Structure 1
């Protein structure tokens, strides 16, 4: 007689067994008290108890002098300074910025 092995997932938050199909893997990034991203398992019910905020986007701030850091802003607040059409036309992160050339470094 063959035995079936059924994996059991426990919530990292409560320690309770999470029924099959109810497990959520939550990745926590940019937490001010952590030095790296962390992942935990929660049940769908536990996730529903966390107050979620929508319309918030991470923005990397990269000053000319000083260290880079990440902040979170609402799309509405960002649009007050940078209109959506400006963002849509902006350079992506891959490759050179528009209008720059490796020969324009003064050499």
Structure 2
């Protein structure tokens, strides 16, 4: 006797081909506690309406709280001039003119 294990779609419940199945990470959903991952068939992905040119912003408050915001590239460009954004400090490494011990 043999045991067969197969992967099924978390969307449709249909059996998936191991060579073409997609794994999708779902992060930051407001109605779910924590990040999740699902398995789907490639033809199930186009059923999701997506947003292009999305920019992720994280706001760091003085009290230690953070807030993740999302806006289109066009809205961000209206909010801050593109030249100012290009000249801003990179997230990696030390900030320009930073002194040790100060943020």
Q: TM-score, normalised by structure 2?
A: 0.81
Rounded to whole Å, the distance in 1 between the matches of 2:42 and 2:81 is: 36
Structure with the greater alpha carbon radius of gyration: 1
CA-based RMSD of the aligned residues comes to 2.4
Q: Deviations over 1:4-44 (max 9, x none)?
A: xx973211122111234431111111111223211100111
> Runs ≥4 in structure 1, deviation > 6 angstroms?
none
SS of corresponding position for 1:17: coil
Aligned partner of 2:34 in structure 1 is 36
Q: Which runs of 5+ in 1 are unaligned?
A: 1-5
Q: More displaced, 29-38 or 62-71?
A: 62-71
SS of corresponding position for 2:31: coil
Q: TM-score, normalised by structure 1?
A: 0.78
* 1:20-31 mapped onto 2 (5 Å cutoff): 20-31=18-29
